[in-house]
A and B are shown apart, each in its own frame.
Chain A
Amino acid sequence: MQVQKFGIEALDNMLGGGLRSGRPYIISGNSGTGKTVLALRFLYEGLKMGEKCLYIATDKPPHSTITSISDSFGWDLLSLNVMDAVPTPSLYSTVYPVRDVTAKGEIREISEMSKNVEKGELTMESIILKLELEYKEKFYHRVVVDSFTTLKRFGVEEERRNPVMAKFFRFFVEKGSTVVLTVEGNIQKIRPELILSSGAIHLKREVQDMEEKRKIAVLKMRGSFFDPIEREFIIDKNGISIRKVKSK
């Protein structure tokens, strides 16, 4: 079985070697727990292996995220392809929660990104169409959708949400790409994502006695004898480091 690693040895071991190629995975956790950093660590590792990687951004324009992550950790993400799928302000209007517009989102090299790229009004289905065209030209080994929660909230009408989400996950499985989707919210809110994914990594951030504690656990990993024990981790200039479990 072929696996794709994060390049964080302790995490790859927790997963039973890494993520299994061609499957969908989620990284869940509240805002500020480190989902984007971990997801980009996955793409960075892919780039180092010479794999084609795509970053689909729905929260913030991708260039700002990528630049700040590259600067903070010294990761070279220049050969990353990105798709700006940030909804335009009109999409946030409560009157028309979703506009069914064909995909305008463009995929380009991060090095060609300027700050004023025309943004598309993207729906989950229009992104599938756009990616369908993109995949005719090239295959992506690793894809990150950050965040899937925003896409779910603004990219599909509520009554069709679950079946369309199933299609979105399915798209990457059919293409054979390993996709990592970041999701926000408690377990109740992310049930469909938990079912659709082949595996789930959960991140937590707690503050106790003025001290910040970050925690990571593998919740699910189909086809793997994974390690479910929760561990502490830190994010510093060296990136993500996972602490050893203290033996009792």
Chain B
Amino acid sequence: MSVNIGIPGMEKYFPGLREGTINLIVGAPGVGKTILGIQYLIDGAEKNEDVLFISLNESAYDIKRDFEDFTWNLNILNVIDATPTSKKREIRPYREVTQVADVIKMKDVKDKYQSREIDVFNLKSTLKVILEKRKFSRVLLDSITSLKYFYTLDVDPEEATMSFLDFFRLLENTTSLIIAEYFEDIENIMRMMDSVIYLRREGTEIILEILKTSTFYSRSVVPLTLTKNGFVINEKKGR
């Protein structure tokens, strides 16, 4: 079974993500990785699937405002706001293992910012508790680079990142899409992915390239245009 990434007509070239796998979107800052990720979730939500957005980069409140110009109804998404607080880190004799975040519907996001101390450990245990109780067909994590850079105090960032990703790999029936910045230290992450989608900019156009996949595809480079309905294939430039 293939899971559509949400770009209309894309299945002509690339059938989609393999159900139950872990997949990657990579690209430089500002290229539209989050937009494509949200498009993937919206596609599922519109088919009445239960989808989940785990946001480390921006609070749910800010994400909602970022997408005001799009025609999408973000309110139907579930979100875990895992952005950290600026408050001083409390020194505790033990590691915090209580649940640090909750799933909420985007439409119920009202508070601007929550204030919990979040790191790779308590986020992972929180996700474990949540995802054991509730099955999501699609999950988006934005981004693994943020996790590695900003959530890994006192631990080896590389190891922590890998074990965090491993958790997504073990989720049954959930097709995960992970966002990463395209930095050269990404090889280890790419290796554990079922598919890797690379977004890059050429002038005003965005080029989608399938770097890796285990499914069959007929074309690996697809020019896209960004519209208020999200990414669409730029057919004129095709072939």
State which of A5-13, A81-89, A188-196 sits at the interface with chain B. A188-196
Q: Which of A23, A170, A224, A226 contacts B86 (CB 8 A)?
A: A170
B65 within 8 A of A: yes
The yes or no answer to B238 lying at the interface (CB within 8 A) is no
Distance (Å) between the CB of B11 and the closest chain A CB?
26
Question: CB of B113 within 8 A of chain A?
Answer: yes
A223 and B29 within 8 A (CB): no
Assess whether A195 is in contact with B84, with CB atoms less than 8 Å apart. Answer: no
CB distance from A119 to the nearest CB of B (A): 23
B149–A162 touching, CB < 8 Å: yes
Interface centre among B29, B34, B145, B153 (most CB of A within 10 A): B29
- A166, CB-defined interface residue at 8 Å: yes
Q: Is A229 an interface residue (CB 8 A)?
A: yes
B93 within 8 A of A: no
Instruction: List, in ascending order, chain A residues with CB within 8 A of B84's CB.
Output: 163, 166-167, 170
The closest CB in chain B to the CB of A16 belongs to B69
A195-B86 in contact (CB<8A):
no
Flag whether A160 is at the interface (Cβ < 8 A): yes
Is the CB–CB distance between B149 and A222 below 8 Å? Answer: no
Contact with B along A219-248 (1 / 0, CB 8 A): 111111111110000000000000000000
A81 to B137, CA, bound (A): 51
Q: B174 within 8 Å of A by Cβ?
A: no
B-side binding surface: helix, strand, loop or mixed? loop
- Report whether B151 and A222 are in contact in the complex, using a CB–CB cutoff of 8 Å: no
Report the minimal beta-carbon distance from B185 to chain A, rounded to whole angstroms. 10
Q: Chain B nearest CB: distance from A131 CB in Å?
A: 10
A23 to B149, CA, bound (A): 20
- Whether B94 is near chain A, meaning CB under 8 Å from some CB there, is no
**Bitwise interface map of A from 183 to 209 toward B, beta carbon under 8 Å scored 1, else 0:** 000001001101110111000000000
Also in contact, A195 and B66, with CB within 8 A (given A170-B86, A219-B30)? no
- Chain B contacts for A125, CB-based, 8 A: 88
Question: B57 contacts which of A163, A188, A195, A224 (Cβ < 8 Å)?
Answer: A195
**B34 and chain A: residue at smallest CB distance:** A222
| A229–B204 CB distance below 8 A | yes
Q: Given A219-B29, A220-B29, A229-B204, are A195 and B146 neighbors across the interface (CB < 8 Å)?
A: yes
Residues B150 and A223 in contact, CB atoms below 8 Å apart: no
Are B62 and A173 within 8 A (Cβ)? Answer: yes
Out of B88, B143, B149, name the residue touching A192 (CB < 8 Å): B149
Distance of A155 from chain B, by nearest CB (Å)? 15
Chain B residues with Cβ below 8 Å from A218 are 30
Taking A191-B181, A191-B183 as contacts, is the C-beta distance between A222 and B85 under 8 angstroms?
no
Range class of the A interface residue count = 35 or more
- Known contacts A220-B30, A221-B30, A167 near B65 by CB under 8 Å: no
**Does chain A have a CB within 8 A of B226?**
yes
Chain B residue contacts of A223, Cβ below 8 A: 62, 65-69
A23 adjacent to B150 (CB under 8 Å): no
Contact with A along B36-78 (1 / 0, CB 8 A): 0000000000000000000001110010011111000000000
Interface residues of A in 146-169 (CB under 8 A from B): 160, 162-163, 165-168
Most buried by B among A165, A194, A218, A224: A194
Residues of B within 8 A of A194 (CB): 29, 181
Contact A228 to B67, CB < 8 A, known contacts A163-B150, A195-B57, A220-B30: no
Given A166-B150, A195-B181, A221-B30, the answer on whether A1 and B86 have CB atoms closer than 8 Å is: no
B195 within 8 A of A: no
Q: Which A residues lie within 8 Å of B67 (CB)?
A: 223
Q: How far is the CA of A221 from the CA of B59 in the complex (A)?
A: 16
CB-based contact B29/A1 at 8 Å: no
A225 to B67, CA, bound (A): 11
Cα–Cα, bound, A162→B161 (Å): 15
| A174 interface residue per 8 A CB criterion | yes
In the bound complex, how far is the Cα of B226 from the Cα of A86, in angstroms? Answer: 43
Given contacts A162-B149, A194-B181, 15 further A-B contacts (CB under 8 A): A1-B65, A1-B69, A163-B153, A167-B84, A168-B86, A170-B84, A173-B62, A195-B57, A195-B143, A195-B181, A200-B30, A223-B66, A225-B69, A228-B201, A229-B204
Q: Which residues of A contact B (CB under 8 A)?
A: 1, 20, 23, 125, 128-129, 160, 162-163, 165-168, 170-171, 173-174, 176, 188, 191-192, 194-196, 198-200, 218-229
